[in-house]
């Protein structure tokens, strides 16, 4: 049994991309891809478009 307050307030900057709905939607869509090769290709494409190294 859980008693008391189980939530914790965390201060997250408004500009944190991890708190945006768009990020959550992207992650959910990414993990619906069942083919590992396709998933790797999507990741590579996203990195290339985002300028990641």
DSSP H/E element including 25: helix 21-31
What are the C-alpha distances in Å from 32 to residues 14, 17, 27, 35, 48?
28, 21, 9, 9, 21
pLDDT at 53: 62
Per-residue pLDDT of the chain (53 residues; tens, 9 = 90+): 566 666 666 666 678 888 899 999 999 999 999 999 999 999 999 999 988 66
Where are any strands of DSSP class E within the chain? none
pLDDT at 5: 63
For the chain, which residues make up each domain, given as ranges? Answer: 18-50
pLDDT at 49: 93
């Amino acid at each position: 049994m859980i008693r008391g307050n189980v939530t914790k307030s965390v201060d997250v900057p408004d500009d944190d991309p991890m708190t945006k709905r768009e990020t959550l939607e992207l992650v959910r869509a990414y993990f619906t891809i069942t083919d590992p090769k396709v998933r790797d290709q999507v990741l590579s494409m996203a990195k290339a478009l985002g300028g990641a190294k």
